[in-house]
Structure 1
Amino acid sequence: MCSPGIIFLAQTVVGALGNSSLLLHYLVLYFPGCRVRPTDLMIQHLIVGNLLTLLCKGVPQTMAAFIFKFSLGNIKCKLLFYVLRVGRGVSIVTMCLLSVFQVITISPKDSRWAGLKVKAPRYIGSSIHLSWILYMLINIIVLIYMTGKWSNTTITDLKDFGYCSAIRPDITIDSLFAALVAFPDVLCVGLMLWASSSMVLILHRHKKRMQHVHKASAPRSSPESKATKTILLLVSTFVSLYTLSCIFQVCVTLLSNPSRFLVNTAAIVAGCFPAVSPFLLMSRYSSASRLCFACIKFF
């Protein structure tokens, strides 16, 4: 059985290479002077959020697994968990925006979303920037309660995260903070599920119409069918891993002294989607896939 350190190391290295390769693909493709499509802009911010999540979670977890009594100072713990929470939140928002934008884009001309097809691309950039600001403000409380594991603080009620600790606030404050952090995440996941379901339904109806028009032709996999499979794969992977991660995070939060196994498992599950998502996205770009696998082979 692999040790947690090996799992953290493999997850971080492979995920970082995958996200970096995909980001490099976009930079080479659209630099300099080329116009970036709204979907590509959202994917770029998703990649940045994934990288922040992987590096801020995977690197210290790996070092804590291999180095005895590894710990970080107060300032480093505060910044590390703050950036981690912001990156994770931005990843969720960009996934939500991507799903909503896609369902608006492929909606029929006679639908109620038709009027938003022209307006939606104008607000993508501002929406992404607003999400960064929103999560930077929401997670300021992380800077207050995170501290070093072996700090000189006299507070004894600390929750151990392996290399950092967190001051356990009053149960009322803790509940309010959990609700504040969870509300935008739950809202985004709900919107994403609705948008993805609507998109799959639209593509299914379009496929049936096209089969009716060309029923004499030989059956073959249409672009709509391929897009449907890609959407279902990406969304189902995200929702399943996000739900599983939330379950583990709730367990870690509610327990006064969570076991090291529970903390490590929660960290591994939280890093699964950031590590896997670039390879799901790269299935559309053969050049990006070749670049990524070349980097992995080199290392």
Structure 2
Amino acid sequence: MDQRFSYIAIRNAFYPQAGIGISANAILICLHTAAVHVGHKPRITDLPIVHLALTHILMLLTMGLLVSTDIWETQDIPGDFKCKVLVFLNKVMRGMSICTTCVLSMLQAITISPTGSWLSNFKLKNTNPILKLFLFLWVFTMSTCSNLLLYTVSTPNKTQPGLLFVTEHCSFLPMKYIHREFFLTLMACRDVFFMGLMVFSSGYMVILLYRHKKQSQNLHNSKFSLQNPLQNKGPLKAFCC
């Protein structure tokens, strides 16, 4: 009874947040699409932003279907198939969210990097390399989550020992130790690598913007110091004489 109540509480708290997230990301996609149709020149970061927004929408939708009750009451599609597809897609979307955020952060760091820096050598003139990178990331992320297609099942009515409950309706079958450690290590290395790149690019941008601010302040102070003697020339001359 307590477990059932916790599922209901999680579902009721999730739906409003998912609605806001889906609406915000849909508006973001519409704004970028409208800007292109109006005639604005697309920026190199537009594709990753739209891709990230679409990824978040799919992630929220799959999570919403997992915690929903209506989809599990229909008997047209087997429960195991629904669990496998939804859990797999949700994990893939989560991985793609991290990867896409990393790509966007790196592109922003490359875009604002000054001419002559080593990052400026990676500046792109078109989106073809980004499309190829996203294709690779999709294949790689789906490969790291492929074990979910084998070990995800619908939760049986009777308690089965060894099951790891994901939601009220879906569970994971027991895995062999070597298989579990292999895929967990693969996903952990993926997340650590891309999050490390995000930290690096974010830190680089902070340092770059800080240096730009200091240079602007120095130029302003130099300009003020050059103007100050001219402003005080008259009074000083009168005082001396």
Task: Give the structure-2-normalised TM-score.
Answer: 0.78
**CA, structure 1 residues 171+124, in 2 after alignment: closer, same or farther (shift >3 Å)?**
same
1:157 CA displacement: 2.4
State which structure, 1 or 2, has the greater radius of gyration over its C-alpha atoms.
2
**CA, structure 1 residues 178+151, in 2 after alignment: closer, same or farther (shift >3 Å)?**
farther
2:177 is the counterpart of 1:177: no
In structure 2, the residue matched to 1:134 is 140
Are the counterparts in 2 of residues 101 and 120 from structure 1 also a CA contact under 8 Å?
A: no
The unaligned stretches of length 5 or more in structure 2 are 1-7, 225-241
In structure 2, the residue matched to 1:158 is 163
Are the counterparts in 1 of residues 44 and 126 from structure 2 also a CA contact under 8 Å?
A: no
Correspondence list, 1:1-299, <5 A: 3-31=9-37, 35-63=41-69, 73-118=79-124, 122-150=128-156, 156-161=161-166, 162-215=168-221
Are the counterparts in 2 of residues 147 and 167 from structure 1 also a CA contact under 8 Å?
A: yes
1:5 CA displacement: 2.5
**CA, structure 1 residues 208+120, in 2 after alignment: closer, same or farther (shift >3 Å)?**
farther
The one-letter code sitting in structure 1 at the alignment partner of 2:165 is D
Are the counterparts in 2 of residues 19 and 50 from structure 1 also a CA contact under 8 Å?
A: yes
Are the counterparts in 2 of residues 5 and 63 from structure 1 also a CA contact under 8 Å?
A: no
1:109-133 alpha-carbon deviations (Å, 9 max, x no partner): 1211222224685522211221112
The one-letter code sitting in structure 1 at the alignment partner of 2:146 is I
SS in 1 for 2:164: strand
What CA RMSD, in Å, does the superposition of the two structures yield over aligned residues?
A: 2.6
1:107-166 alpha-carbon deviations (Å, 9 max, x no partner): 1212112222246855222112211121122222110010111279x9742212222011
The one-letter code sitting in structure 2 at the alignment partner of 1:192 is M
SS in 2 for 1:140: coil
Q: For residues 140 and 88 of structure 2, what CA distance do their matches in structure 1 show? A: 13
- Which structure has more relative contact order (CA 8 Å, sep 6+)? It is 1
**Which runs of structure 1 show a deviation greater than 6 angstroms over 4 or more consecutive aligned residues?**
none
1:35 CA displacement: 5.0
Q: For residues 52 and 143 of structure 1, what CA distance do their matches in structure 2 show? A: 18
The one-letter code sitting in structure 1 at the alignment partner of 2:122 is L
Are the counterparts in 2 of residues 9 and 62 from structure 1 also a CA contact under 8 Å?
A: no
1:187 CA displacement: 0.3
Q: For residues 168 and 157 of structure 1, what CA distance do their matches in structure 2 show? A: 6
1:5-35 alpha-carbon deviations (Å, 9 max, x no partner): 3211111111111111111112222237765
1:55-100 alpha-carbon deviations (Å, 9 max, x no partner): 1113332549xx9xxxx70000000011111111111111111111
The one-letter code sitting in structure 1 at the alignment partner of 2:53 is I
Q: For residues 39 and 145 of structure 2, what CA distance do their matches in structure 1 show? A: 35
SS in 1 for 2:45: helix
